[in-house]
Amino acid sequence: MKKIVFIISALAVLLSFSVSARTIKGTVTAKEDGLSIPGVSVTIKNSRLGITTDIDGKYQIEASDKDILVFSFVGMVTAEIHVGNQTIINATLEAELLEMDEVVVTAYGIKKERSGRILAFRDKSVSSEYNMSAPVMLYEQEEEFNREGYSTIHENGYKDAIKAPLSTFSIDVDAASYSNMRRFLNNGQKPPVDAVRIEEMINYFNYDYPQPDNGHPFAIYQEFAHCPWNEENMLLHIGLQGEKIEMDNLPASNIVFLIDVSGSMSSQNKLPLLKKAFKLLIQQLREEDRVAIVVYAGSSGLVLPSTSCSDKQTIINSLERLQSGGSTAGAAGLKLAYQVASENFIENGNNRIILATDGDFNVGQSSNSELERLIEKERERGTFISVLGFGMGNYMDDKMEIIADKGNGNYSYIDNIMEAKKVLVNEFGGTLFTIAKDVKIQIEFNPAIVESYRLIGYENRMLNNEDFEDDKKDAGELGSGHTVTALYEIKLANKSSLKKNNLKYQTTNVNNLAREGDEVATVKFRYKKPKGTKSILIEEVIPFKNNYVTDMSENFRFSASVAGFGMLLRNSENIGTATYKSIIDLASASKGKDSEGYRSEFIQLIKLAKHL
C-alpha cells in the first residue's frame, strides 16, 4: 500500500512539474520604432542560465508559472515579465541614457577603474537548428587591461580635380572593422577611431546589384546624386557585384586550419567560440574537400593531417580536443601550415590557410618583414590565407589585416556565432573562393564638372597612379558573390570661373569634351583571373545627373547611411549636417527586405551609439 501511495505521489509531482514547466516563445522589439532586437539576454530571474534572441529578435526558453523572465540589452531599460499561464511572451524595450564606467584611456588601452565589472557574453543563437533553447552562460569576468592594436588612419581629404584628376585604389572586401565596432558598442563603449574603417563597414552589407552578363567575373553599378549630409555636394556610388558560383561548381578545396591555442585564447569568446565557428564551416564542405589542422602555442604541431570531408566527424573530434595554454609562436605555426598546404596542393583547386587567432601573433625568431615575404611567396605559388579574429583585450587588428592583405585573403572578426554563420555559411563562397584577384579601380574626374573630390574610406588601400597598370602591384581579391562599394563626395565646379593649374612647369588645358559633355568621370577597373598574371581592363563613363537622395535606390541610400555613421564614430571633419537622427532616418527608410536582419541590427547599433 505504501508503495502505491509513493508512486501516486511521484506521479503527482511529475504531473505538476510538467504542467508548470513549458516552452515560452516570443519576440523582443524596440519601443521607439517596433524593430526586432537581436542579442537580447532573456533569463529567468535569480538564475544565471538563459538565452539570447536570434537575428529576428525571437527566443525560446523553458519556464514555469511562477518564473519571471528578465529581458536586458545594453542601452535599454531592463524589462521583467511574470510567466503565469502564458506560452507566448513578447517584450518591448525602451532606450535609456547609459552611464559609462569611469575609465582611464591610455593610447588604445582602456583600464577600468572599477575592476570586476560583469559583462554580458552574447553567444547569439541563429535559429532553432543551432539549439536555441540550450542554456547559455551569460557572464564572464572582463580583462582588467586592454592593449588592442590598430593602424593609424588619416582620413582622405579633398583633392583638386585640375591638379590631381586621377584617384587610384585597391578594392577591399574585408568586413572585420564592422563586427569589431559592434563588439565595442555592445560592451557599452565607443570604438577607437582607428578601429573604424568606413569601407569595411560599407562592405559588411550585401547590395542589390545585378549579376554580371558582360563576360567578366563582376558587374559594375553606379549612381550619382546630391550628398545626404551636404546638399551642395554630390555623392558618387560605385558598386561591383561578383559572379555567384553555385556550390557544386566550385573547385575542390585543400584547407589548413591554423589555430592559435596559446593561453590568451582561453576566454569563452575565443577558443570555445572558434570551435563552434569551424564546425559550421566543416558542415559546408563536400567529400572532395580536405581539411588539416595545425596549432601553435609555445610550439607548433600538426593535430590532424589532411583529411577528406567524407569523414567530417574525425575532423570535428580533432577540433573538440583542442585546449589553450602556453605562449604564442605564430611564425612557426604559419610555416608548418604552408608546408602542409603545399604537400596536399590541388592543381586548379582552392588552396587556402584559415588563420584563427586573437592576433597576439608573436613571430618568434622571424621578423615581420620575413613573415610578409613568406606569405607573398606562397601567394604567388597559389596558396592564399584568410584570417578570422576572435576576442578582446589583446586583440591585434593591425597584424591580422596585414596578413590577410599580403596573403590574398579575407579578414573577418567573429564576435559571436551569428557572425560566424554570416562569414562561413551565408557568404561561404565569397569567403573561400576567389573569382578575381588584384582588382584595382582608377577614376579620372572631369575638372569642368568636378572642382574637387574625396574618397570615403579606403585610406590604407590607396595606390599610386602608376600602380594601376603595373601587373606586379598587389591589390584586393573578389570572392564568389561578394559585393564591393565605394563612395566619393564631390564638390561641383563653376564652369564660368574654371580654375587653372598654376604650376610653374606644367599647364592643363580642359578640352571641349570636358567643357561641353556631361561626363563626371571615367572609371577604369583592372583585374586578373585567379591563376592569371596579366590584368584585364574594363572602362565605363559616369554621366552627370542632378538626382536627389530621395529619388535614389536603397543601395545608394543605405550605403550612404553606413558611411555617415562611420564618420560620426570617427568624429570626421567632413560630417557636414549629419546627426545620429538623420542617419537613423536614412538607414530606416532604405532598409529594404533585410531577410537576414543585418540592417535592422545596424539601425539598433546607431541608436546605441547615440546614447554612448
What CATH number does residue 412 fall under? 3.40.50.410
Q: Which candidate, 126, 431, 449, 456, places its Cα nearest to that of 255?
A: 431
Question: With contact defined as beta carbons under 8 Å apart, do 388 and 355 qualify?
Answer: yes
Within-domain flag for 148: no
DSSP summary character for residue 247: G
pLDDT given for residue 49 in this prediction: 61
pLDDT given for residue 144 in this prediction: 41
| Mean of the per-residue pLDDT values of the chain | 84
CATH number at residue 118: 2.60.40.1120
Within-domain flag for 551: yes
CATH number at residue 557: 2.60.40.1230
Backbone phi and psi for residue 242, each to the nearest 5 degrees, phi listed first: -75, 145
Q: Which of 88, 111, 141 is a domain's end point? A: 141
Within-domain flag for 45: yes
pLDDT at residue 99 tops 70: no
Within-domain flag for 487: yes
Within-domain flag for 14: no
The answer to whether the Cα torsion of 436, 440, 444, 449 is positive or negative is positive
Q: What are the pLDDT digits (tens) for 179-196? A: 999 999 988 899 999 999
CA distance 559 to 553: 10
- In a shared domain, residues 137 and 224: no
The answer to whether the Cα torsion of 14, 15, 21, 23 is positive or negative is positive
pLDDT given for residue 514 in this prediction: 63
Look at the chain and report how many structural domains it folds into.
Answer: 3
- In a shared domain, residues 473 and 592: yes
Within-domain flag for 6: no
- In a shared domain, residues 272 and 412: yes
DSSP for 396-431, please give it.
BHHHHHHHHHHTT--EEE--SHHHHHIIIIITHHHH
- In a shared domain, residues 137 and 85: yes
pLDDT given for residue 367 in this prediction: 64
- In a shared domain, residues 441 and 421: no
- In a shared domain, residues 259 and 206: no
Residues spanned by the domain of 327: 254-430
pLDDT at residue 17 tops 70: no
- In a shared domain, residues 206 and 274: no
pLDDT range class, residue 116, cuts 50, 70, 90: very low
Q: What are the pLDDT digits (tens) for 236-291? A: 999 999 999 988 888 999 999 999 998 888 888 899 999 999 999 999 999 999 99
pLDDT range class, residue 37, cuts 50, 70, 90: confident
- In a shared domain, residues 173 and 230: yes
Q: What are the pLDDT digits (tens) for 73-82? A: 766 788 999 9
Within-domain flag for 13: no
Least confident of 142-146, 481-485, 587-591: 142-146
- In a shared domain, residues 134 and 202: no
Question: With contact defined as beta carbons under 8 Å apart, do 538 and 216 qualify?
Answer: yes
- In a shared domain, residues 235 and 92: no
CA distance 499 to 447: 9
Q: How big is the CA angle at 507 (ends 506 and 511), to the nearest 5 degrees?
A: 145
Question: With contact defined as beta carbons under 8 Å apart, do 443 and 167 qualify?
Answer: yes
Q: Which of 430, 456, 487 is a domain's end point? A: 430
Give residues with Cβ within 8 angstroms of 415, minimum separation 6. Answer: 179, 180, 182, 183, 186, 269
Within-domain flag for 328: yes
Question: With contact defined as beta carbons under 8 Å apart, do 169 and 456 qualify?
Answer: no
Backbone phi and psi for residue 7, each to the nearest 5 degrees, phi listed first: -65, -45
Q: For the whole model, what pTM was predicted?
A: 0.78
pLDDT given for residue 311 in this prediction: 96
DSSP for 135-199, please give it.
-EE-EEEPPS----B---------EETTT--EEEEE-----HHHHHHHHHHHTTSPPPGGG--HH
- In a shared domain, residues 116 and 201: no
CA distance 39 to 328: 32
- In a shared domain, residues 269 and 201: no
What pairing do the DSSP bridges indicate for beta strands 253-260 and 118-120?
unpaired
What pairing do the DSSP bridges indicate for beta strands 519-528 and 434-445?
antiparallel
CA distance 468 to 474: 10
Q: Which of 430, 446, 473 is a domain's end point? A: 430
Which residues pair with residue 538 across a beta bridge? 525
